[in-house]
C-alpha cells in the first residue's frame, strides 16, 4: 500500500516538473511573438516525452494555421519552423508531413521537400507511399524550371519510391511517374533500332505514349530474364498492355494526321500488339469476319481465309473444315 502511494507521488512530481517546463517554454515563446508556438526539439533526456511535446505543438500549429488566410512569403518561414520542430520531436508524425508539405508546396516548395525528405527517411514510415508521392508531385509541379531534367529526375525518384511502397496498387501514383518520364522525353528524339529510324517527340501525348512503351520494354525484358511467374517488379501488377492500347487509341483519335504520332504507334503495334487485330485508323480491336471497324467505319483486313473451304479463319485451324492453315500454306 505504501509502495503504491510512493509511486503515485513520484508520478505527480515528474508530471508537475514537465508541465512547468513546457509552460515556461510556451510563456517565453508567447512573449517573443504572438504567432509563435513551441518550436523547441527536446534532448534525448526527455525522449520519452517528445511525442507528447509534438502533440502540443501540433495543436498550436493547427490553431495558428486557422488564424492565417493562406501561406505566403511572409509566414512561410514560420510555418516551416513550426513543422520542422514537430517532426524533430516526433519523426513518425504522418499528418504533419502530409498536411504541412501541402501548405508549403506553392510558396516554399524546397522547404516542403525538406520536411518530406525527413519523413521518407524515417524508419517508422517505410510503408507510407503518400509522403514520397507528395514529394514527387511538388517536385514535378511546383519547383521552378520544372521542365529541367534535374528537377524531373528528382520527381521521378520520388514517384518510384511511392510506387515501390504502394506495390503498384495506386494507379494515380504510377500515372504521375509516367508523367514525369514523359516530360523528360518531350522535345527529344526516340530511336527505333529495328527500323533504324529516329522519331522527334513533339507533343505530350506522344511523349506519354513512348514513356509507356519504354516501361513496357523494360518490363518485358525483366519477364524474359526471370524464371518466376510472379510480378518481376512493383510495376508488374499493372496491365501495361491495356494502358498502352488506351494511350494509342487516344492519340490516334485526336492526332491521326500527326506523322510522328503515327510512326510511334506503328512501332508499338509491331512490338506489343503483333498478334492482335487492331484497326489501323483508330486502334480498336475487331473480330473475325469483320470487314469494317465498328468504331470508326474504316475497312479492316480480314483475319484470313481458309485455303480449303474459303471460310473466315478464327485461328490456325479452320472452324468449318478443320484445315491447318499454317500446314497448307507450306
Taking the CA atoms of 163, 166, 167 and 173 in sequence, report the sign of the dihedral they define: negative
Average pLDDT over residues 69-97: 93
Check residue 231 and give its pLDDT: 35
| Of 6-15, 59-68, 106-115, minimum mean pLDDT range | 6-15
CA atoms of 161 and 167, how far apart (whole Å)? 10
Query: CB of 176 within 8 A of CB of 208?
Result: no
Q: Which letter does DSSP use for residue 324 in this model?
A: B
The angle formed by the CA atoms of residues 35, 86 and 78, to the nearest 5 degrees, is 30
**Is 11 a residue whose pLDDT tops 90?**
no
pLDDT more than 90, % of the chain: 38
Q: What are the pLDDT digits (tens) for 96-140?
A: 999 999 999 999 999 999 999 999 999 999 999 999 999 999 999
The angle, 0 to 180 degrees and rounded to 10, between the axes of the packed helices 240-254 and 204-225 is 160
The angle formed by the CA atoms of residues 106, 185 and 284, to the nearest 5 degrees, is 105
Q: What are the pLDDT digits (tens) for 28-47?
A: 554 444 444 445 554 444 55
Q: What is the mean pLDDT of the chain?
A: 81
pLDDT more than 70, % of the chain: 77
Residue 195 phi, psi dihedral angles, 5° rounding: -95, -5
Check residue 191 and give its pLDDT: 92
Strand, helix or coil for residue 317: strand
Query: Which position has the higher pLDDT, 197 or 158?
Result: 158
**Is 230 a residue whose pLDDT tops 50?**
no
Would you kindly state where each structural domain of the chain is located, as residue ranges? Answer: 186-225+235-276, 291-330
CA distances from 322 to 51, 263, 288, 305, 330 (A): 75, 38, 16, 13, 16
Average pLDDT over residues 200-216: 91
Check residue 185 and give its pLDDT: 92
Per-residue burial over 121-147, b = 16 or more CB atoms within 10 Å of its CB, e = otherwise: ebeebeebbbbbbbbbbbbbebbeeee
Query: Which position has the higher pLDDT, 55 or 146?
Result: 55
Residue 303 phi, psi dihedral angles, 5° rounding: -55, -35
Query: Which position has the higher pLDDT, 138 or 167?
Result: 138
Cell, residue 198: 529516329
Query: CB of 303 within 8 A of CB of 277?
Result: yes
Residue 278 phi, psi dihedral angles, 5° rounding: -120, 140
Task: Read off the pLDDT band of 77 (50, 70, 90).
Answer: very high
Check residue 232 and give its pLDDT: 37
Amino acid at each position: 500500500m505504501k509502495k503504491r502511494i510512493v509511486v503515485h507521488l513520484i508520478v505527480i512530481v515528474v508530471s508537475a516538473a514537465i508541465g512547468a517546463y513546457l509552460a515556461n517554454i510556451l510563456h517565453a515563446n508567447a512573449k517573443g511573438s504572438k504567432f509563435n508556438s513551441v518550436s523547441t526539439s527536446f534532448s534525448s533526456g526527455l525522449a520519452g516525452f517528445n511525442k507528447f511535446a509534438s502533440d502540443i505543438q501540433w495543436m498550436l500549429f493547427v490553431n495558428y494555421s486557422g488564424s492565417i488566410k493562406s501561406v505566403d512569403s511572409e509566414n512561410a518561414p514560420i510555418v516551416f519552423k513550426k513543422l520542422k520542430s514537430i517532426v524533430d520531436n516526433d519523426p513518425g508524425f504522418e499528418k504533419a508531413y502530409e498536411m504541412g508539405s501541402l501548405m508549403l508546396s506553392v510558396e516554399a516548395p524546397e522547404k516542403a521537400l525538406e520536411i518530406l525528405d525527413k519523413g521518407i527517411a524515417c524508419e517508422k514510415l517505410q510503408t507510407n507511399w503518400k509522403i514520397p508521392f507528395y514529394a514527387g508531385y511538388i517536385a514535378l509541379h511546383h519547383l521552378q524550371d520544372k521542365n529541367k531534367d534535374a528537377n524531373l529526375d528528382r520527381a521521378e525518384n520520388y514517384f518510384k519510391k511511392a510506387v515501390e511502397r504502394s506495390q503498384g496498387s495506386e494507379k494515380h501514383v504510377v500515372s504521375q511517374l509516367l508523367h514525369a518520364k514523359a516530360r523528360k522525353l518531350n522535345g527529344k528524339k526516340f530511336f527505333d533500332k529495328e527500323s533504324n529510324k529516329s522519331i522527334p517527340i513533339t507533343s505530350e501525348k506522344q511523349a506519354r505514349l513512348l514513356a509507356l512503351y519504354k516501361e513496357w520494354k523494360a518490363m518485358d525484358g525483366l519477364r524474359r530474364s526471370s524464371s518466376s511467374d510472379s510480378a518481376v517488379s512493383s510495376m508488374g501488377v499493372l496491365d501495361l498492355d491495356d494502358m498502352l492500347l488506351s494511350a494509342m487509341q487516344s492519340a490516334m483519335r485526336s492526332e491521326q494526321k500527326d506523322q510522328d504520332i503515327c510512326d510511334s504507334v506503328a512501332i508499338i503495334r509491331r512490338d506489343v500488339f503483333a498478334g492482335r487485330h487492331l484497326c489501323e485508323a483508330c486502334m480498336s480491336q475487331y473480330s473475325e469476319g469483320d470487314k469494317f471497324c465498328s468504331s470508326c467505319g474504316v475497312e479492316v483486313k480480314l483475319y484470313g481465309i481458309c485455303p480449303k473451304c474459303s471460310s473466315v479463319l478464327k485461328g490456325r485451324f479452320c472452324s468449318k473444315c478443320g484445315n491447318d492453315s499454317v500446314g497448307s500454306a507450306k
